[in-house]
Chain A
Amino acid sequence: MINKKEVVLEVKNLSIDIPVSQGILHPVDNINLHVERGEILCVVGESGCGKSLTSLAIMGLLPKNAQRTAETLELNKEDLQELTERQLADIRGNRMAMIFQEPMTSLNPSFTIENQLLEPLLRHKELSKDEARNQVIEMLELVGIKPAEPRLRQYPHQLSGGLRQRVMIAMSLLCNPDLIIADEPTTALDVTIQAQILELMMSLQEKFNTGILFITHDMGVVANIADRVAVMYAGQIVEEGPVSEIFDNPAHPYTRGLMGCIPVPGKLGQDNTLGTIPGMVPSVVNDFQSCRFGGRWDENYKENFEPCRLTEVPKKRRSFKVNLNEKHLVHFCCDECLHLSEHTLVEGSS
């Protein structure tokens, strides 16, 4: 038996509803995920599939008009839904921290870098201002902002995109949280600094046994850091498994499409058009007329395959465990889809 590791984050049946003029949007629909201590779970998925909203929901930072429902939402077995806004604020930045997709949305434009970084330390840790300041400088240098001193007096708009992103990363790492949610944290970094940052995150994670939920669309990053991967599509997690499984044996049609259009460095000619998944993510307003992935099979499928209509798709999605590994879970919505994935069903559950 493998030791069951301690779970830092447990999310069960999380849904988000947002009223819009055309009806109710279901950008996140009954998702389950967990992160263990010392583990990196990478979440990948098409733009707009609900990755950022999922992380905001965990942090309790959804926009006001968005409604969250969840069966379980626990940080270290503590129910996050029970907490008051004040208690949550104490946890945020301290026991769980988030690196936001767009640094400008979370850095305060009218505070210097020094003030933004000191704030969480002074608030959550018993440190003198000098001690805190030294820790801030040390952390900035660790994320490659050298020399750090002159940056302390600058304002966010005076920094380059990548410097801003690293300030955010430094901020999230300062208090050694149990859980870090990183939403596309390295998009503005060149590959050398990206490697340095990832290495830093991994070494701190080892030292403090942090769990990391890492959202990225960079499959190179996923391949290099993930323990497990969850693939999201149109508000649902359609496939989940150990990183090698997802790369070597993608089962869901979307995952396969995704693997098919990774631009491989060095192998890309100038003349070929890049692979895409035909069509676009369906609108997730109200209920689906047909399957979410319907009509987005590649050309071969399209000819002899009409996407299932709603009446044919079971109301509740069935999840089929694929025979490759007990940890490798794929959610197919119908037998046809399973059939097309060329996997044999071992154990089915509803």
Chain B
Amino acid sequence: MADTMIYGYDLVKEYPISRGMFKRKELLRAVGGVTLQVNKGEVLGLVGESGCGKTTLARLILGMIPPTAGSVEIAGQNINKLARLERAKTIQPIFQDPYSSLNPSKTIGSILTLPLRIQRDRESHSWEKRVRQTMDLVGLAQRMYNQYPNQLSGGQRQRVAIARALITRPAVVVCDEPTSALDVSVQSQILNLLKELREELNLTYVLISHNLAVVQHMATRVAVMYFGHVVEEEKTNILFEEPKHEYTKKLLGSILVPDPNKRIFNKKE
């Protein structure tokens, strides 16, 4: 029987939003009752309109924000009851916005060493070697070991975030747009790496991406979110071949084909 790695039950997250001074706050329902289960070794693709609640759901799964209702279990344990260290060992995020998730005053070397330090990894003599190896794996030049985040390009920063999540080989990785800032060649390199790690170590991924080609390539199952709800969930090939929900169809119909002879916009000459 497959082990359940992630079990989110009836998750709801509401945010208060201001309606202007002296007015009562309104509630914005970012996630409106989502139940999801991901088994060990699976890759769950999460797609949906911008603002539909994907990042919020990811943060709930990671235990970074408390749910308004519902609960999350990671490997059978309630995420909010796990000790921080234990949680960090099991589940790691790769965030959408690498700029705000990297400490600007730390070098890349120390940013990447931190997870090893936090987890009190005993082989401290090998830390630097492992950091440098991981930098190689994600295609970061060694000279960046001593550089700061603001000295890197957008795609390089994104790769730092990826390296940081993978260095301790967590069982679950929640990737929020992990390759959005990468060119196709580097993107392929990263996706190949994620695939290899999964096969080698039986890792479990939640993969949020607007790039449907990436989702199709990586995910074993896809959940489509729309206004805070999962409206369709299917094995990847089935979803791409026979989308059922209107939004899914619209999504698949808006893919831009990399061929200048098949433009969907008409430009007046």
The answer to whether A265 touches B265, judged by C-beta atoms less than 8 angstroms apart, is no
In the assembled complex, how far is the CB of residue A53 from the closest CB belonging to chain B, in whole angstroms?
Answer: 8
Report B239-269 CB contacts with A as 1/0, cut-off 8 Å.
Answer: 0100000000011001111111111110110
**B34 interface residue, CB < 8 Å from A?**
no
The answer to whether A265 touches B183, judged by C-beta atoms less than 8 angstroms apart, is no
The answer to whether B265 touches A150, judged by C-beta atoms less than 8 angstroms apart, is no
**A59 interface residue, CB < 8 Å from B?**
no
In the bound complex, CA of A154 to CA of B20 (Å): 10
**B150 interface residue, CB < 8 Å from A?**
yes
The answer to whether B50 touches A273, judged by C-beta atoms less than 8 angstroms apart, is no
Binding site for B on A (CB under 8 A): 20-22, 44-48, 51-53, 63, 101-105, 144, 150, 153-154, 158-163, 166, 183-184, 187-195, 198-199, 202, 206, 217-226, 243-244, 247-248, 257-258, 261-266, 268, 270, 273-277, 280-281, 283, 285
The answer to whether A184 touches B254, judged by C-beta atoms less than 8 angstroms apart, is no
Give the most central of A158, A160, A194, A199: most B CB within 10 Å: A160
In the assembled complex, how far is the CB of residue B195 from the closest CB belonging to chain A, in whole angstroms?
Answer: 7
Residue among B51, B56, B176, B255 making CB contact with A220, cutoff 8 Å: B255
Closest B residue, CB atoms, query A189: B50
Chain A hits for B143, CB < 8 A? 20, 22, 283, 285
The answer to whether B255 touches A191, judged by C-beta atoms less than 8 angstroms apart, is yes
The answer to whether B267 touches A276, judged by C-beta atoms less than 8 angstroms apart, is no
Chain B hits for A257, CB < 8 A? 185
The answer to whether B156 touches A224, judged by C-beta atoms less than 8 angstroms apart, is no
Chain A hits for B146, CB < 8 A? 21
Instruction: Given A104-B100, A265-B213, A274-B191, answer yes or no on A220-B258 (Cβ-Cβ < 8 Å).
Output: yes
Closest A residue, CB atoms, query B182: A47
In the bound complex, CA of A239 to CA of B48 (Å): 36
In the bound complex, CA of A224 to CA of B254 (Å): 12
The interface-forming segment of B11-19, B60-68, B77-85 is: B11-19
Instruction: Given A184-B154, A263-B214, A275-B188, answer yes or no on A217-B55 (Cβ-Cβ < 8 Å).
Output: no
Chain B hits for A104, CB < 8 A? 97, 99-100
**B130 interface residue, CB < 8 Å from A?**
no
What 9 pairs between A and B have smallest CB-CB spacing?
A162-B50, A47-B155, A220-B256, A274-B188, A217-B183, A219-B258, A263-B213, A191-B254, A187-B180
Chain B hits for A51, CB < 8 A? 153
Instruction: Given A161-B177, A184-B154, answer yes or no on A194-B185 (Cβ-Cβ < 8 Å).
Output: no
Chain B hits for A218, CB < 8 A? 211, 256
Q: Which of B51-110 contact A (CB under 8 A)?
A: 51, 54-56, 96-100
Instruction: Given A48-B153, A150-B26, A220-B258, answer yes or no on A261-B48 (Cβ-Cβ < 8 Å).
Output: no
Residue among A166, A192, A217, A247 making CB contact with B182, cutoff 8 Å: A217
Instruction: Given A48-B155, A52-B154, A264-B213, answer yes or no on A188-B183 (Cβ-Cβ < 8 Å).
Output: no
The answer to whether B177 touches A223, judged by C-beta atoms less than 8 angstroms apart, is no
In the assembled complex, how far is the CB of residue B25 from the closest CB belonging to chain A, in whole angstroms?
Answer: 11
**B10 interface residue, CB < 8 Å from A?**
no
Chain A hits for B99, CB < 8 A? 102, 104-105
In the bound complex, CA of A224 to CA of B266 (Å): 9
